[in-house]
């Protein structure tokens, strides 16, 4: 369940990130902590995302959030990079990581399995396609709980 403040924060964070040449890849507001933690995952599409990118985004987003009253009470802002073992969400990510090894998790199980490992082929409106040792496996999107990049051994 997405926190109701996440959509307006996202609307604010995306243009801030774009001005810095960055992309927002995820926002979560953890209200079960005191003070609550706003976690913003970013990536630099031009190079590996570094600490400098996180610092620049943190300062710029903090200033933008302070200028609005989206979050009325005290909170902690964490800006980080999701790294390689990360979840694929957007169409752009599915295109960018075509050919990469992924783990597709399903619930309920699909054809008796809950985890599928293979090379990402593509995603369309209804399915995710992966290559498993030369065989194409089609997994219905309605059953998929997440798709993660997989660091092959």
Does pLDDT of 151 surpass 90? no
Quick one: fold of 91-149? SH3 type barrels. (2.30.30)
pTM, two decimal places: 0.56
The Cα–Cα gap between 85 and 151 comes to: 7
Domain range summary for the chain, segments of one domain joined by +: 6-80, 91-149
The Cα–Cα gap between 10 and 18 comes to: 12
Each residue of 110-135: pLDDT tens digit?
Answer: 999 999 999 999 999 999 999 999 99
Average pLDDT over residues 50-66: 91
Q: What class does CATH assign to 6-80?
A: alpha beta
Indicate if 91-149 has the same CATH topology as 6-80.
no
Helix (H) or strand (E) holding 102: strand 101-110
DSSP helix/strand/coil, 143: helix
Does pLDDT of 145 surpass 50? yes
Greater model confidence, 44 or 51: 44
The two three-digit tokens of residue 120, written as one number: 């990402």
Residues 6+ apart with CB under 8 A from 141: 123, 125, 126, 127, 128
């Amino acid at each position: 369940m997405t926190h109701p403040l996440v959509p307006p924060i996202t609307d604010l964070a995306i243009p801030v990130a774009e001005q810095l040449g960055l992309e927002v890849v995820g926002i979560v507001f953890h209200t079960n902590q005191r003070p609550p933690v706003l976690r913003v995952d970013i990536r630099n599409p031009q190079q590996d995302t570094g600490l400098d990118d996180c610092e620049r985004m943190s300062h710029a987003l903090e200033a933008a959030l302070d200028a609005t009253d989206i979050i009325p009470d005290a909170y902690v802002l964490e800006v980080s990079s999701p790294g390689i073992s990360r979840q694929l969400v957007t169409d752009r990510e599915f295109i960018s990581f075509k050919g990469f090894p992924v783990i597709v998790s399903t619930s309920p199980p699909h054809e008796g399995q809950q985890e599928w490992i293979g090379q990402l082929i593509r995603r369309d409106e209804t399915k995710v396609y992966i290559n498993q040792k030369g065989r194409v496996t089609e997994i219905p999107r309605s059953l998929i709980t997440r798709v993660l990049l997989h660091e092959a051994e």
